[in-house]
Amino acid sequence: MDCHEKVIDQWRHSLHAKALSPGVLGQFALFDGETIADCLSCHFPNTETGEALGNWSGSVSCFSCHGHLTSPHPSEVPVTRSPVTYESCVYCHQFVDNGILVNGKPLENTVEEWRQSLYPRQGITCISCHLQEGNHYIRGIHDPEMTRSGLIVSGLRNQNQIEITLQNQGAGHALPTYITPRIRVQWKNARGQSIPITTVQRKMDWNETRGWTEIHDSRLQPHEQRTIHFNTDNTAVGYIEIWVDPDADYYERVYPAILKAMNESDVSQESKDMIRSAMQVAGQSSYLLYSLRCGPDDGACQ
């Protein structure tokens, strides 16, 4: 990999490099072989070349997107040029229509959301944004700068009414895409109290009897603009805060349910510790994306 040191260093800092994380591995104690294989098809899609991967194993690596290739140079792992297109993303970021559909949509519908937008006709693909200029950080909603490039927020005060406008101006899919992340809109008053206003997410639930249920889908589709009105109790200074919880569903629903199932089963302490570790990481991933100050006078919040 000496020829691509810069790319490899960028990739090492990406979530693709951490795809086979404790949060994935810990769950395997509860799964059968078929379910584990299904998970590995996206979290470790290198099974055919696993013995030769060495330090590249346990992740979504070069081979996952560029394929198993050949080179004129001797190498433990043969590699050649294989340009990545949006189609490289489809297998893991677009679940098939003949799979699980909830309210008419697959759980993972990112590529189809993009196909239904204006971006394909403009020649803008997944690669245009997530691998800009060939970088391999492959940033997504865990990265504040990336999220800020997609979500534009403005605020306006009119006496005790606050008008908040959210616009998906840069994401080529629903914002946020998939069922894991959540965006929270809240008001922080002069006393420092945070008052929830709304959430932007596809909120799901699952149980053994009903299966999957969509509680609500309030995400912003590509180019969608939404205005929210919120009445404060006075005209004192306050702040519009936009918080992003990239791992909300895992922290609040998935990991607690897994730990409950583990406590009811004969599962190793190691597996439980992996899930607890993953849950701790998920709970620490939230960040403040915007904070707009609304003064006592009418006008724009900045």
pLDDT tens-digit profile of 192-231? 999 999 999 999 999 999 999 999 999 999 999 999 999 9
User: Residue 267 belongs to a domain with what CATH number?
Assistant: 2.60.40
From residue 241, how far is each of 22, 196, 233 by CA, in Å?
32, 10, 17
Domain that holds residue 242: 144-301
Percentage of residues of the chain with pLDDT beyond 90: 71
Helix axes 269-283, 255-263, angle to 10 degrees: 160
Q: Does 128 lie in the same domain as 159?
A: no
**What's the mean pLDDT in 49-56?**
42
Q: What is the pLDDT of residues 262-286, one digit of tens each?
A: 999 999 999 999 999 999 999 999 9
Find the range with the poorest average confidence among 23-27, 63-67, 91-95, 280-284.
Answer: 63-67
Q: Does 162 lie in the same domain as 130?
A: no
Distance CA 187, CA 207 (A): 33
Q: Does 127 lie in the same domain as 28?
A: yes
Asked whether residue 33 is assigned to any structural domain, the reply reads yes
**What's the mean pLDDT in 69-90?**
63
Closest to 176 measured CA to CA, from 104, 278, 244 = 244
Q: Does 290 lie in the same domain as 166?
A: yes
Q: Does 35 lie in the same domain as 117?
A: yes
Instruction: Give the helix, strand, coil percentages of the chain, each rounded to 5.
Output: 35, 25, 40
Domain endpoint, select from 103, 134, 165? 134
Question: Which amino acid is it at 129?
Answer: C
Q: Does 109 lie in the same domain as 217?
A: no
Q: Does 265 lie in the same domain as 158?
A: yes
Q: Does 167 lie in the same domain as 109?
A: no
The residues near 153 (Cβ < 8 Å, ≥ 6 apart) are 164, 165, 166, 167, 240, 242, 289, 290, 292
Question: Long-range contacts: 25-29, Cβ < 8 Å, 24+?
Answer: 25/271, 25/274, 26/258, 26/271, 26/272, 26/273, 26/274, 26/275, 26/277, 26/278, 27/258, 27/271, 27/275, 28/271, 29/262, 29/265, 29/267, 29/268, 29/271
The answer to whether 296 and 286 are in contact (CB under 8 A) is no
Asked whether residue 139 is assigned to any structural domain, the reply reads no
Q: Does 294 lie in the same domain as 149?
A: yes
pTM of the model: 0.90
From residue 159, how far is each of 19, 64, 230 by CA, in Å?
49, 55, 11
- DSSP class per residue in 111-130: HHHHHTSSTGGGT--HHHHH
Distance CA 23, CA 269 (A): 14
Domain count, the chain: 2
Q: What is the pLDDT of residues 197-208, one digit of tens each?
A: 999 999 999 999
Q: What is the pLDDT of residues 116-173, one digit of tens each?
A: 999 999 999 999 999 988 889 999 999 999 999 999 999 999 999 999 999 999 999 9
